Each structure stands twice: as structure tokens, then as C-alpha cells.
Amino acid sequence: MEFYTKNVHYGKKVATPIKSKVTPIYQSSAFTFASLQELEGFYEGKGNFLYSRVGNPNTDELGQAVAALEGAEQGVATSSGLSAILVSILAVASTGDHVIAPVDLYGGTYQLIAKELKDVGIESTFVPFESKHTILEAIKPNTRVIYSESVTNPLLRVENIDQLVEVAKEYKLISIIDNTFATPLLCKPINKGVDLIIHSATKYIGGHSDVTAGVVVGNKSLMEKVNQKVVNLGTNLSPFESWLACRGIKTLSIRMEKQAQNAKALAEALVGVKGVKQLFYPSTLSSLGNGAIVTIELDTELCRMESFFESLEWIKIVPTLAGVETTVSYPIATSHRALSEDDLKKLGITRGMVRISAGIEHDQDIIKAFKEAIIKSLI
């Protein structure tokens, strides 16, 4: 199937006597057995469901749906994007191992890798990924994982995945890519040889700002390890949130198409606008579009940040992204607020930086709202 068809018909529903068009919500903590023999059959691989932390028809459907869209063998749903990152790394790295990641990384991921994984004895090094040389210099004898984002957050650098995979294969490292910003419509890292792909399904997979979820996909052997971590660490997703994400995923392609068109129009309209010091928007991601995020850096010597945000009118200030409404976030006050001044400098996050998530509204309304807010913020 082509992506647009697979997006709607992504997998088989669980067979039930009642032939519902949509998978029902299996809001149950556990599943029953008619006999001890049937119970034992589950452990022999003859049954599908035991306890919802171990597996549930709704969570399984979400994992399988994203795996199908990414072209992966298997997938598993988790409680959030960060938990998806956590179980992925812990599935392939342990105490004494080392992770390499780019400096321009999402703040939450940076905190997880640099601080939380350090507490369990997993080292990390953050370097610029633009140059293969700097990546190679960071490799140690105990390096196990090379991690990145297909489009970095919030500076929107498109990762050279071919280069990353080349290094991973040469040094026998596990490659992990967070594909949240690009979505499988615009980028399929597994086609380039990436081992594990992660999504914060809270964002474009769910698409409507009403679910918190994560997904990991990859080949069968690695996913068995990831799934074991999900079960043992209790990072599974609830049935209802899985159902919501599956409902949202069916419109992923048409949402992303429109949102990417709006983001491109906004980025072009803000070039050269007084007060905009820098503008970040990819240009090399996909022939279908370059994503739905635009990041601008306002000149804080010319603009009052408080005035800018207060003047946005119908555009909401939020700590997240990707819903059908256009929103803004302020990285230094949300996603990256826990970082030190030195860390912020390393990541390139400034006090004038604003991340814009384009929605599905009319592009001219979006452009007008931002231009007017910038004008009103000028000193």
C-alpha cells in the first residue's frame, strides 16, 4: 500500500465476535482464562493477552500501526516520548556503556541522557553532528549507542542519517533516531539502516493535543529487548490513550501536509521582518514537505519578549507542539528551563528563541498574527 492508504488501513484489528468497524477500547487491567490449561497456553505462546502492563489490544494496535508506517517489523507503545527513549537505550546499553548524541538536542532528552542515565552508570558525550570527524572523536571503547533526531528540537537541523548509520555500522553501534518532528510521512530512518526509531506520539501521531504517549519500532530481535524493558519498568501506555492515538494517526498524512505547507509559508513570510534575528526552517527534509515547525530568534535588543507573547491573540502559548492549532513555545522557559547557562549556550538556545508549531488554519491568518505580534513587541 501507498503511505496515504496504509495511514488509514494500518493493520488488523483484534478478532472479536462483534464485528465493529473500529477497535473497541479494552479498558481492562487483566484478561480472563477459562481454565488453568488456557492460562498455561499464554506462556506457551498460544494466547495474546494476560495483563495490560504486558500487553493489551489497544496498545498493541498503536505499536503495530507506527511500525507499519515506518516499515519496521515490530513496535511497542509507551507512556510518553521520554519513556520510549529510556526503554530504547536501556534495552541496548547498561552500566559502563557510553552514548553519543548531538549537542542540539531536545532539552528533555538531553536531561535524560546526561543526568538520569549517568545515575545508572551510562556515560554520554554530546558533540556537533554536522561533522563526521567530531562524531568519530567522541567514540570510546565502551560506546554502545549513537542517538539523534531526524529533525533536531528546536533548531531544526536535518540529521545526516546516512552518515550516522555509516558510523554506527563501522563501529558496531546501535543507532537510535527520534523521528517525531519528521513523522514517517516525511522520513523513514529504518530505510537508511537505523536500528530503533522513536516517536513522541503525543505530537503528530496523536495529533490533537489530547494524549501523552510514545512508540518505539525496530526489528524483531531488538524489539523483544525493548518490550521486555517496557514490561519490567512499567512504562506501558493505557488502553484509552492508545485508542486515542490510533484514532489520530488515521489523519496523520493530511494533517502533516497542511501543517508543513503553512510552516513553509510562515517561514518565507518572516524572512527579513524587523525584529527577527534568525529564522530556522529545514529545506532538505522531503519532497513532500519540510515539517510543521518554524523556530525564530527575536532580537531582544529590539523586541520585548513579554509583549510579543501577549500580542499573539488567538495563538496559544504551550510547552508542547503538533496539534491542529497553531501554537508557540518558549524553550528557555519550558523544554530547556532545567539546563544551566553553559548547557543552553552549548545547545544554542537563547532568550529570544520562539518555537512555532504550525496548525491547519489558513496560512494568511497565521502569518498576520505573527507579524502583528512582532510589530507590537518592537521597542
Q: What is the mean pLDDT of residues 161-166?
A: 98
Q: Which residues of 331-344 are buried (b: 16+ CB within 10 A; e: fewer)?
A: bbebbbeebeeebb
Contact 321, 259 (CB under 8 A): no
pLDDT at residue 303, rounded to an integer: 97
- Decide: 216 and 250 in contact? Cβ < 8 Å: no
Q: When comparing pLDDT for 179 and 16, which is higher?
A: 179
pLDDT reading at 71 higher than 70:
yes
Instruction: Give exposure, 221-243, as e/b (b: 16+ Cβ within 10 Å).
Output: ebbeebbebbbeeebbbbbebbb
Q: Average pLDDT for residues 311-320, to the nearest whole number?
A: 95
Per residue in 291-315, pLDDT (tens digit) is 999 999 999 999 999 999 999 999 9
Please name each of the domains of the chain with its CATH number.
3-249 (3.40.640.10), 252-377 (3.90.1150.10)
Burial class, 199, CB count within 10 angstroms (exposed 0-12 / middle 13-18 / buried 19+): buried
Question: Per-residue pLDDT for 12 more than 70?
Answer: no
249-302 per-position pLDDT tens digit: 999 999 999 999 999 999 999 999 999 999 999 999 999 999 999 999 999 999
pLDDT at position 14 over 90: no
Query: What torsion do the CA atoms of 329, 269, 178, 98 make, to the nearest 10 degrees?
Result: -80
pLDDT for residue 329: 96
Q: What is the pLDDT of residue 16?
A: 75
Beta bridge partners of 178: 149, 198
Whole-angstrom distance, CA of residue 103 vs CA of residue 100: 10
CB neighbour list of residue 317: distance below 8 Å, 6 or more residues apart: 309, 327, 328, 329, 330
> 333-346: per-residue pLDDT in tens?
987 887 788 888 87
Residue 173 has what pLDDT?
98
75-115 pLDDT, tens per residue?
999 999 999 999 999 999 999 999 999 999 998 999 999 99
How far is Cα 111 from Cα 154, in angstroms, rounded to an integer? Answer: 15
C-alpha closest to that of 81 among 219, 202, 217: 202
